[in-house]
Amino acid sequence: MRIAVASGKGGTGKTTVAVALSMAVSEKVLYADCDVEEPNGSIFLRPEISRTEKVLVEVPEIDEEKCISCGKCAKFCQFNALVSLGTPPLVFPELCHSCGGCAIVCPTDSISWKKVSIGEITVGSADSGRVSVIQGKLNVGSSLAPPVIRQVKSHIADDILTVIDCPPGTACPVIESLDGADYVLLVTEPTPFGLHDLILAVDTVRVLGMPFSVVINRFDEGDDGVENYCKNEKIHIMAKIPHRRSMAEVYSRGGILFDAIPEMLDLFKSIPQMIERGIEVE
């Protein structure tokens, strides 16, 4: 089963919940960090790295002998990755989406493809080998999160419980991370900001037609807006994590949820079974 952990905005405790879930269960688990612009699950899981691999994408390479400097490729490119100044085009690989359009419009077949690296996948394990950790990291300078996320997901096997730490927000890297997950946990805070961003996230998972429930972090610190919303919308609240100042302190030092709030352990342990049952009911 694949459980994606997402949130409408950053800083609500998404990584805290994803890490806690991975550490709570006693079975083997894969933690997939798809927050590739800011992968920080490893700060808390501290995996031993066994190997790394590059994320490669194809970008155009111009054969200047064949090129007649017609500029059609640059005119076609929607991403400004090619520029023609009456010369063979300049290529800006970091802007290229690898759509293949330039080669299609080139009248002299002057464009071939070369592979460039846009990020890195790290494979490791934590908690004496029980937790496998796959982390994707986008290179500084690249804006193409989806290929890195796709490669992280290519490591996910079907027979192992998987926790997917999604990027914050509701934009396309989130959609890419959610694609293929069986269930979504939306992490929020009981504040007006938290509720506002939760509603956007709920809209997104509903559009995608995915089963989901909500985890309220610091539930006793705000108002009852989130709980009322969930009640009205008939959204199940999977967990309510109490506010402890010590949690902020533990977090700032790279500790995990149960270091500050050990009594949450039993609930987190049972989340996969609860989801399993919930999915069967639906």
Partner 1 sequence: MKEIVVISGKGGTGKTSITGCFAALAENAVLADCDVDAADLHMLLAPEIISRNDFISGNEAIVREDDCTGCGVCKKNCKFDAIEVTPEGKYRVNPFSCEGCMVCVEVCPVKAIDFPPNHCGEWYFSHTRFGPMVHARLGVAQENSGKLVSTVRLEAAAKAKELNKDFVIVDGPPGIGCPVIASITGADLIVVVTEPTISGRHDMKRVLQLAQHFSVPACVIVNKWDINPEMTEVIEADARNSSAEPLGRIPYDRAFTVAQINGRTLVEETTGESVEKITTIWEKVCQKLK
Partner 2 sequence: MKIAVPSPGKDLESDVDSRFGRASGFIVYDTDEKTFIVADNSQNLNAAQGAGIQAAQNVSSTGAGVVIAPSFGPNAFKVLKAAGVKAVTCSAGTVKATIEDYLNGKLSESDAANVEGHW
> What would the x/- binding string for partner 1 be over residues 112 to 141, using CB under 8 A?
------------------------------
Q: Spell out a b/e string for 77-103, using b for 16 or more CB atoms within 10 Å of the CB, else e.
A: beeebbebeeebbebebeebbbeebbb
Choosing from 58, 94, 182, 259, the residue that interacts with partner 2 (CB under 8 A) is 94
Contact 5, 21 (CB under 8 A): yes
Choosing from 99, 112, 115, 279, the residue that interacts with partner 1 (CB under 8 A) is 99
When asked if residue 279 is in the footprint of partner 2 (CB under 8 A), the reply is: no
Q: Which two tokens stand for residue 29?
A: 């688990």
> What would the x/- binding string for partner 1 be over residues 211 to 240, using CB under 8 A?
----------xxx-x---------------
What is the residue whose two structure tokens read 């405790």?
Answer: 13
80 binds, among partner 1, partner 2, none (CB under 5 to 8 A by kind): partner 2
185 or 275: CB nearest partner 1: 185
When asked if residue 90 is in the footprint of partner 2 (CB under 8 A), the reply is: yes
State how far the alpha carbon of 204 is from the alpha carbons of 37, 207, 237, in Å. 20, 5, 18
> What would the x/- binding string for partner 2 be over residues 136 to 165, using CB under 8 A?
----xx-x----------------------
Q: What is the 3-state secondary structure (H, E, C) of 42-58?
A: HHHHCCEEEEEEEEEEE
Question: 3-state DSSP call for residue 100?
Answer: coil
State how far the alpha carbon of 202 is from the alpha carbons of 187, 189, 216, in Å. 11, 14, 14
Choosing from 26, 154, 232, 252, the residue that interacts with partner 1 (CB under 8 A) is 252
When asked if residue 101 is in the footprint of partner 1 (CB under 8 A), the reply is: yes
Helix 14-24 vs helix 265-281: angle between axes, to the nearest 10 degrees? 90
Contact 147, 96 (CB under 8 A): no
DSSP H/E element including 82: strand 82-83
When asked if residue 10 is in the footprint of partner 1 (CB under 8 A), the reply is: yes
Q: How far is the CB of 178 from partner 1 (least distance, A)?
A: 10
Binding site for partner 2 (CB under 8 A): 79-81, 83, 85, 87, 90, 92, 94-95, 140-141, 143
Binding site for partner 1 (CB under 8 A): 8-12, 37-38, 40, 43, 76, 78-79, 97-101, 104-105, 143, 168-172, 174-175, 191-193, 196-197, 200, 203-204, 207-208, 221-223, 225, 245, 248-249, 251-254
